[in-house]
Structure 1
Amino acid sequence: MTGLALGRIVIGATALASPDVAAKLFRLDAARNPQLPYMSRLFGSREIALGAVTLVSKGAARRKLVALGMAVDGADAFAGYDAMRSGSVNQSVGVGLTVPAVGAVLAGAIGLVTGR
Structure 2
Amino acid sequence: MSGHASVLAMNPVIGLSLGRIAVGAAAVANPQLVAKNLGLDPVSNPQVPYVTRLFGLREVALGLATLTTGGRSRTGVIGIGVLVDAGDAATSYLAMQDGQISRKAGLTLLAPAVGAVASGLLALVRRG
TM-score (norm 1): 0.95
1:8 to 2:20 alignment: yes
Q: What corresponds to 1:112 in structure 2?
A: 124
Q: 1:12-91 counterparts in 2 under 5 A?
A: 12-91=24-103
Whose Rg is larger? 2
| 2:110 counterpart letter in structure 1 | T
Q: Which runs of 4+ in 1 moved over 2 A?
A: none
* CA-atom RMSD in angstroms: 0.8
Q: What corresponds to 1:100 in structure 2?
A: 112
Q: What corresponds to 2:7 in structure 1?
A: none
| 1:26 counterpart letter in structure 2 | L
TM-superposed deviation, 1:27: 1.2
Query: Aligned with 1:87: secondary structure?
Result: coil
Deviations 1:32-74 (A, max 9, x none): 1101111111111111111101101001110110000000000
Consecutive unaligned residues of structure 1, counting only runs of 5 or more, are none
What is the identity percentage for the equivalent residue pairs of Structure 1 and Structure 2? 46
Query: Aligned with 2:100: secondary structure?
Result: coil
TM-superposed deviation, 1:21: 1.5
